[in-house]
Chain A
């Protein structure tokens, strides 16, 4: 799937992946897609909670070994 910006948050632990993601979203336009790579096992729940509370759309979440890749579409308002 296509994305507009990629963010490597591998090796970072809570709450850094979320903080970096927030920063990354600030750097793209509304409706654009941010790809975030993580290794923090807590990120799976945290990214779902982050999107649910902020209104950004969690397009996909793919787990491979110890890595989880998220695609998040920035909310339009």
Chain B
């Protein structure tokens, strides 16, 4: 019987979009049955257009910078756009997949994507904001498959 992986994706920035989609697509390639539950800011990753995902160096002292600078300087307008541009360039230069590509790979390999209905209501999102194939459910839906999964991760 196939192994099962259950993920919770709770973050909606460009950097944190990677772990759930990398792990899910790879697990699917390893013949796992995979489901990802997207909640709070993670819901952003299910929007039709995710080309505007951003990464912020503010409050993120671990982020490698070309020149050392105090973290507070990251609040200067334009720093986030610059960091996002730099990150996207690095991603392309190093042959790292785009989030769009990884998400497509997940869908093509049968990964089930579940959007937290409570968060949809909370943020006034509409079902049509999201890509086709997304299912909607709550905490009980998560446990329905998490309870029988071999690996469970909160991201």
Which A residues contact B (CB, under 8 angstroms)?
Answer: 11-16, 18-19, 21-22, 40, 50, 53-54
Contact = CB atoms under 8 A, between A and B. Distances in A.
Contacts of B25: 15, 19
A14 B22 contact: yes
- Say whether chain A's binding surface is mostly helix, strand, loop, or mixed: helix
A16 B30 CA distance: 13
A22 B29 CA distance: 6
B26 A54 contact: no
Contact of A19 (B31, B94, B96, B105): B105
Contact of B26 (A11, A13, A18): A18
Contacts of B109: 19, 22
A64 B22 CA distance: 27
Interface in B74-106: 94-97, 102, 105
Contacts of B26: 15, 18-19
B95 A11 contact: yes
9 contacts: A13-B96, A14-B96, A15-B102, A19-B25, A19-B26, A22-B29, A40-B95, A53-B31, A54-B29
